[in-house]
Amino acid sequence: MTHTIATRPRTGFLARRRRSYFLFIAPALTLIAAVILFPWLFTVWMSAFDWRIGSVAHFVGIENYVKLATNQRFLEAIVHTFYFTLLAVVFPLLLGTAAALIFHRQFPFRGLLRAIFTMPMMATPVAVALVWTMMFHPQQGVLNYLLSLVGLPPSLWVYSPTLVIPSLVLVEIWHWTPLVMLIVLGGLAALPTEPYESAKLDGATEWQLFRHITLPLVAPFLLVAAVIRTIDAVKAFDTIYVISQGGPGTASETINLYLYLQAFAFYNVGNASAVVVVFFIIILALALLLLHVRERTKWT
Amino acid sequence: MSVVIPAPRRKVDAKLRLKRALRRVGFAFSIAVIVSPAILVFLWMLSLSLKNEKDNGAYPPVFVPQPPTLANFVQVFSENSMGLYFWNSVVVSGLATAVALLVGVPAGFGIARAQAHRLTVVVLIARMTPALSFLIPLYMVFQFLGLNNTLTALVITHLVITVPIIVYIMAGHFETLPKELEEAALIDGGTVWTTFRYVALPLARPGIVVATILAFIFSWNNFVFGAVLAGRSTRTLPAAVYNVLTFEQLAWGPLAAAAIVVTLPVLLLTIVIQKEIVAGLTHGGVKGS
């Protein structure tokens, strides 16, 4: 994004052409304006109204936002979202990096095994969530049976207020670790071989090689993975909605779940629009924070 | 998994050989550990779908269907309009992908050739916005236009997913194509349009295939648009599986069978273009919501 102006062709011949290239972009831009930009502006506008579907809308200014700031349930939803996101970023990053280190080596059936490993990523979330719901079942679920095989007591999984978020994260880890793996694997493939050779000559151990050569070199890729994972975890919806519906009680109600209820169960679109705006600001802030970390770590 | 390769038959001292063997076993074990969750969940899904209800409720669980039965699949298709929902999904994802290709491929070309990379920011914003937030305003507009519960409304909403994916992948792809051929065509008196149509487009076919399949998959996988905007007869598969099956029948076998019907087309597509998908996904990490 930073090199646009510098490389822009300046001659008249090409500038004229540039205009015709924009004609290629125009239809898509119009479409994006209609289905993405317009909804955005409309949302901001709606958030200033006490607006319920089926009744007359009243202009209330920033009242929806003021109410949200003191809404216990919404504030708890923010906490749930952050808790879920933290776990759903850290674990896939750790496991995805480990998996990438494994798949970076040569071994028989590597391609096939990698294809199997990446399958969860493309599977339809709702379908997968249904299967996990059955696996989490406290009496007949296969997970408690597996726990009993290794001598552990059965768990309530998503039926326990304290375990529901970690259990949902388990599904998220299963689903999205492959994406982290692929991004890190791409980073590993681009590594130069010289530093390893000289370090080996100097008698470095495997761990030292990883810690002082591999890790710093793939760090930018880890950050890209972290940004993508954060954005996706914050807006996770399908699996949470299908597996726990935000329950038990509101124990796993994230911002997205709260938003869904406000908009499509209570039809309170004014309030829901305010939630969307706050939600987007949170996502933007998290993404910028991570990119800022990236800028700072570049020079060390 | 026969990952352990027999040690070379040289006279290495026994201790070193043992150490090597142990490392190989350890490595094979770690591969098994990371790959097994992926395969086991899918196998369990298959197992649930092929067992009768008695075995599905059994504890300890029955792992291998004895004998396997297709009754669950038959039930899903005969008692619920699974065929209709499947067709809805094909229509919605197919049309949304087709429209997105129509506007997205030229846009990708334009962005790449005019060096208008700032426009990809729009794509990033679309990527960051929760799908639900597009839904509230679109729902209102569709209600105003009387389009709620129609496939048209669904196709329009799915453009939110397909257009950004195709624009982003195609912009990246045209970027990698050599410009010399196009320049030659322009010097020979071709217009920008003929250059695009007869030079760039044929060369971009591999990119178009990847963009099409990824857009189709992410549109197919979408649940929330169908859940909110569709009526009883216009539901897409993921919405139908959740709404119809979970509320109207709690039996595990048909549920698992339905889950397989939803996700199998996607998994098959994934396997067909495995390598290209990996390249398309990791390049900037585009993923629909």
Q: Is B211 on the interface with A (CB under 8 A)?
A: no
CA B54 to CA B124: how far, in whole Å?
A: 49
Verify that A232 and A277 share a domain, yes or no.
yes
Verify that A37 and A85 share a domain, yes or no.
no
Q: Residue A177 falls within a domain, yes or no?
A: yes
ipTM of the complex: 0.84
Q: What are the per-10-residue average pLDDT scores of chain B (289 residues)?
A: 54 80 90 92 92 79 82 83 90 96 92 78 75 86 87 92 88 85 84 88 88 92 90 88 67 88 90 71 47
Q: Residue A268 falls within a domain, yes or no?
A: yes
The pLDDT assigned to B1 comes to 47
The pLDDT assigned to B185 comes to 85
Q: Residue A199 falls within a domain, yes or no?
A: no
Q: Spell out, as residue ranges, where chain A has pLDDT lower than 50.
A: 1-11, 299-300
What's the burial of A59, exposed, middle or buried (CB within 10 Å: 0-12/13-18/19+)?
A: exposed
Chain centroid offset of residue A176 CA:
9
Which residues fall within 8 angstroms of residue B262, CB to CB, at 6 or more apart?
Answer: A124, A126, A127, B237, B238, B241
Angle at A233 between CA A229 and CA A238, to 5 degrees: 130
Verify that A41 and A68 share a domain, yes or no.
no
Verify that A78 and A107 share a domain, yes or no.
yes
The pLDDT assigned to A13 comes to 53
Q: Residue A208 falls within a domain, yes or no?
A: no
- State pTM to two decimals: 0.86
Q: Residue A58 falls within a domain, yes or no?
A: no
Name residue B63's amino acid: F
Verify that A172 and A278 share a domain, yes or no.
yes
Verify that A105 and A160 share a domain, yes or no.
yes
The pLDDT assigned to B286 comes to 44
Q: Residue A227 falls within a domain, yes or no?
A: yes
The pLDDT assigned to A297 comes to 59
CATH number, domain at A107? 1.10.3720.10
The pLDDT assigned to A4 comes to 44
Verify that A127 and A174 share a domain, yes or no.
yes
What's the burial of A138, exposed, middle or buried (CB within 10 Å: 0-12/13-18/19+)?
A: middle
Long-range contacts of B61-66 (CB under 8 A, 24+ apart): B61/A140, B61/A142, B61/A145
**A58 three-class SS:** strand
Q: Residue A57 falls within a domain, yes or no?
A: no
CA B274 to CA A225: how far, in whole Å?
A: 20
Place of tokens 């585009």: B286
Contact B157 A238 (CB under 8 A): no
Verify that A128 and A75 share a domain, yes or no.
yes
Chain B stretch 268-287, residues whose beta carbon is closer than 8 A to a beta carbon of chain A: 269-271, 274, 277-278, 281-282, 285, 287
Verify that A139 and A256 share a domain, yes or no.
yes
Verify that A107 and A241 share a domain, yes or no.
yes
The span from the first CA to the last CA of chain A, in angstroms, equals 23
Q: Is B31 on the interface with A (CB under 8 A)?
A: yes
Please tell me which of the candidates A116, A182, A242 has its beta carbon nearest to residue B281.
A182
Task: Give the residue numbers spanning the domain of A139.
Answer: 63-191+219-297
Verify that A41 and A130 share a domain, yes or no.
no
Give the number of other CB atoms < 10 A from CB of residue B221: 26
To the nearest whole Å, the CA of A299 is away from the closest chain B CA by: 22
Verify that A114 and A249 share a domain, yes or no.
yes
The pLDDT assigned to B3 comes to 55
| Number of independent structural domains in chain A | 2
Q: Residue A197 falls within a domain, yes or no?
A: no
